[in-house]
Amino acid sequence: MTNEPSTCNLDSLAMAKFQDMADQLEYLYSQGKFEEAQLLKQEGFDLAAELDSGSTFVYLNDLSSLL
């Protein structure tokens, strides 16, 4: 067994995030929460722009089980 961290693919993480955001948007629109939906939509556009620009990202795994 090694102690090396598993690698993750940024594109896969981003696509999972975008899918989650799309699900959240669908729910917000169905509840008539248009202002919240607009904020989330802008967050998605901002994330996409940063990914396209080649920005550096840090991925932090869920460490809540260690608490």
Evaluate if pTM is beyond 0.75.
Answer: no
Report yes or no: 14 and 47 within 8 Å, Cβ to Cβ: yes
Report the pLDDT averaged over residues 2-23: 79
- The structural domains of the chain, with segments of one domain joined by +, span 10-51
Say if residue 35's pLDDT is above 50.
Answer: yes
List pLDDT tens digits, range 42-61.
Answer: 999 999 999 999 888 887 77
CA 25 – CA 38 distance, rounded (Å): 8
Is the Cβ–Cβ distance between 28 and 36 less than 8 Å? yes
CA 1 distance to own-chain centroid: 30
Q: Give the count of beta carbons closer than 10 Å to the beta carbon of residue 50.
A: 13
Cα separation, 27 vs 23, whole angstroms: 6
